[in-house]
Amino acid sequence: MKANHFVRYGEAFKRQIVEEIQAGKFSGPFAASRAYAIKGATTVNNWLRRYGRQDLMPKQITINSVQEKDRIKLLNQRVGQLEKALADAHMKGLLEESYLQIACEGLGLDVVEFKKKHATQLSARPARKAPR
């Protein structure tokens, strides 16, 4: 078969495979795909999902050591910290933009023109520490 050909399965065939798995003819989706030479590792699983028969899909069980659980917990905490830092940085940027807009309005300047004129100064400015 050429690489640019695709195999399409009809609805009746898909339903037949799902029914045969449900009836116990096959031990699971992998056995059904082997028996009918269905290509694709997840094709039959997708059909089971489509027809609401996830209960016939193989279950995945993950076994972690205590060290892995601790590492996952630490990584999740770090993700939370980074998300908070990102949100803080986003809020800081919004506040700075608002302050700039208010200042420009007070001075009667156009914000876009001010940014163009002072672009190098604005980008090279050292970061200020937040007050405690």
**Structural domain contains residue 74:** no
Phi (first) and psi of residue 61, to 5 degrees: -115, 130
26: left (phi over 0), alpha (psi -120 to 50) or beta: beta
**Structural domain contains residue 75:** no
Residues 51, 91, single domain; the answer is no
- Cα–Cα distance between 47 and 51 in angstroms, integer? 6
- Cα–Cα distance between 83 and 77 in angstroms, integer? 10
User: pLDDT tens digit string along 58-88?
Assistant: 787 888 899 999 999 999 999 999 999 999 9
**Structural domain contains residue 68:** no
Show the tokens assigned to 130: 């937040």
Residue 23, domain extent: 11-56
pTM for this predicted structure: 0.44
130, pLDDT greater than 80: no
User: pLDDT tens digit string along 2-39?
Assistant: 567 788 899 999 999 999 999 999 888 889 999 999 98
Question: Which residue is it, tokens 């914000």?
Answer: 111
**Structural domain contains residue 124:** yes
- Count of structural domains, the chain: 2
Q: What is the pLDDT of residue 54?
A: 84
**Structural domain contains residue 111:** yes
